[in-house]
Amino acid sequence: MNNANAAATTMRLIVQDGPQWTDVMTAFATLATSVAAVVAIFFAWCQLRQAREAAKEATASAIYRSFLERALEYPDFVAPVSSHVDTEKETFRFDRGEFRRYEQFVDLMLTTFEEMIKIPREKRGDDFVLVNNYINGWLFDHRQYLQSKYYERRFRKMISDDLWERIQKATDPACAEKPATTGSDR
């Protein structure tokens, strides 16, 4: 009977030790699941961030294409002759309707630049200095309208502080001539 008692005692120890081992395994499984969940959340966050950046780039490209289409449609608005823009009478070449179209063109131009500015510098495939010169060249061409009290009073609050600062620098009356651009800028 000694052998039978020894076997029974051994079985009792295994059964008694069993729950401790399963508790360890349960704790390990819970920890592993938690770690996997955190890793999954991190990767989802990274994917979401990349998707947002891609959306910004796609939006900027779409608006830019629309802007270029309007530039082809309204070539007089691209680099307007100063005498054509009269903000006091709200006319473009003495026409109020043309002035409203010109305002829409400038609005699309500024919206395009707002979207271009939102793209992180490191994400741009082009030379950042060229992009800045490109934007500044357009702003300079529209300085008479953008510097007017009319524009500031009606539209200043609709653009970002960053773009407003760019407008102020690019259209500074102290600038004697248009910023240097390369032949491929426009």
Q: For position 174, what pLDDT does the model report?
A: 73
Rounded to the nearest integer, the mean pLDDT of the chain is: 83
The rounded distance, in Å, linking the Cα atoms of 30 and 181 is 62
DSSP single-letter state for residue 92: E
Between residues 128 and 172, which one has the greater pLDDT? 172
Q: For position 182, what pLDDT does the model report?
A: 42
| Contact predicate 167/156, CB 8 Å | no
pLDDT band at 161 (very low <50, low <70, confident <90, very high): very high
Residue 148, φ and ψ in degrees, nearest 5: -70, 150
Q: For position 19, what pLDDT does the model report?
A: 56
Q: Dig out the tokens for 162 from the structure.
A: 């960053």
Contacts of 163 (CB under 8 A, 6+ apart): 110, 113, 114, 117
Q: For position 95, what pLDDT does the model report?
A: 96
